């Protein structure tokens, strides 16, 4: 069965500091997809990034970057130079190729509070 | 089309009443999902449609819950004889599964409060 663990429940930083969110996953599927979603106070889940299991290249997109390490089953996410608008709950999610409809399994979320 | 829409945004009902929620997916998306999110938790999968066919249901979806997607367009989620434990945010998502696209896009959710 697939499982996602986000050990950090809450992180508080001062604006312009970097924030790294940890995510560890479990799956028996050889092909899977990992995602990060943001849920601001308004409540709507916003898709941020996706990584495929067969592509371990780490990338940077604007102020977001991610570190995918298959050997440790981790998919960490970093916000560089945080801003107050980054305050939200961030969810890591896993989708297995074999799962019907590629349904998502979410972690428990990490609340990020960016103080001015 | 600007995204997934859900109605109503909020619903307060008394225990034992029936409620129905609606989800309108992004128009070209063939897959539609329902998730439930309780306070402080991540969303949990409930059910999934490929076009009009309901192909997967979670064990979380008791027989008081029913979902439909007539003609493969909008979807409804009905809860009969609501219980206080049904209080949660009900999220709808849609996706267009292609070789390169996997993302699910979420609506704003319907927050249900059962009193």
Determine how β-strand A110-115 pairs with β-strand A10-14: parallel
Is residue B100 predicted with pLDDT exceeding 70?
Answer: no
**Alpha-carbon torsion B30, B39, B41, B19, what sign?**
negative
Q: Which of residues 53-82 of A touch B (CB under 8 A)?
A: none
Q: Taking CB atoms and an 8 Å limit, are B102 and A33 in contact across chains?
A: yes
Say if residue A17 is preceded by a cis peptide, omega within 30 of 0: no
What is residue A101's three-state secondary structure? helix
Q: Are B25 and B2 in contact (CB under 8 A)?
A: no
| Model confidence at B17: pLDDT above 90 | yes
- Among candidates B45, B89, B105 on the partner chain, residue whose Cβ is nearest the Cβ of A103: B45
Contacts of B95 in chain A (CB under 8 A): 102
Provide the token pair at A43.
Answer: 């409540």
Is there a cis peptide before residue B72, judged by omega within 30 degrees of 0? Answer: no
Tell me the pLDDT of chain B averaged across its residues: 92
How confident is the model at residue B72, as a pLDDT? 84
Query: What pLDDT is attached to residue B101?
Result: 61
A42 at interface of B, judged by CB pairs closer than 8 A: yes
Query: Average pLDDT, stretch B84-101?
Result: 87
Rounded Cα–Cα distance for residues B104 and B92 (Å): 9
Percent of chain B at pLDDT above 90? 77
Confidence of residue B99 (pLDDT cuts 50, 70, 90): low
The pLDDT assigned to B96 comes to 87
- In tens, the pLDDT along B38-68 reads 999 999 999 999 999 998 899 888 899 999 9
Q: Is B86 helix (H, G, I), strand (E, B) or coil?
A: helix
Q: Where are the beta strands (DSSP E) in A1-116?
A: 3-5, 10-14, 19-21, 24-26, 32-39, 46-52, 60-61, 64-69, 74-79, 88-96, 104-106, 110-115
- C-alpha gyration radius of chain A: 14
CB B87 within 8 A of CB B113: yes
Strand partners, A25: A4
**Token pair in block for residue B90:** 């009900």
Give CA–CA dist B108/B2, Å, rounded: 12
Half-sphere exposure of A31 (CA within 13 A, CB side): 5
* pLDDT < 70 positions in chain A: none
Query: Residues of B at the A interface (Cβ-Cβ below 8 Å)?
Result: 31, 33, 35, 40-45, 48, 50, 55-56, 89, 91, 93, 95, 97, 102-109, 111
Q: Answer yes or no: do A102 and B42 touch at CB < 8 A.
A: no
- Alpha helices (H) along A4-90: none
Q: How far apart are CA A102 and CA B115, in angstroms?
A: 34
Higher pLDDT, B80 or B55: B80
Residue B107 has which token pair?
Answer: 């609506």
pLDDT of residue B102: 73
Question: A52 to chain B: which residues are within 8 Å by CB?
Answer: 102
Q: Between A and B, how many residue pairs show a Cβ–Cβ distance under 8 A?
A: 62
């Amino acid at each position: 069965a697939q499982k996602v663990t986000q050990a950090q429940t809450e992180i508080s930083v001062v604006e312009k500091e970097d924030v790294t969110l940890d995510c560890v996953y479990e799956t028996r599927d050889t092909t899977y997809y990992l995602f990060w979603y943001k849920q601001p106070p308004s409540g709507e889940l916003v898709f941020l990034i996706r990584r495929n299991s067969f592509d371990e290249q780490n990338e940077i997109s604007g102020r977001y970057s991610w570190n995918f390490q298959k050997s440790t089953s981790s998919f960490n996410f970093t916000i560089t130079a945080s801003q107050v608008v980054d305050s939200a709950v961030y969810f890591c999610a896993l989708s297995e190729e074999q799962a019907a409809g590629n349904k998502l399994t979410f972690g428990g979320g990490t609340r990020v509070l960016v103080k001015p | 089309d600007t995204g997934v829409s859900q109605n109503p945004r909020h619903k307060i009902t008394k225990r034992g009443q029936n409620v129905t929620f609606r989800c309108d997916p992004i128009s070209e998306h063939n897959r539609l999902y329902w998730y439930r999110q309780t306070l402080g938790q991540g969303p949990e999968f409930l059910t999934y449609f490929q076009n009009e066919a309901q192909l997967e249901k979670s064990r979380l979806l008791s027989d008081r819950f029913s979902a439909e997607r007539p003609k493969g367009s909008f979807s409804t989620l009905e809860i009969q004889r609501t219980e206080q434990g049904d209080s949660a945010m009900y999220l709808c998502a849609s996706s267009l599964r292609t070789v390169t696209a996997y993302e699910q896009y979420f609506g704003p959710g319907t927050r249900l409060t059962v009193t």
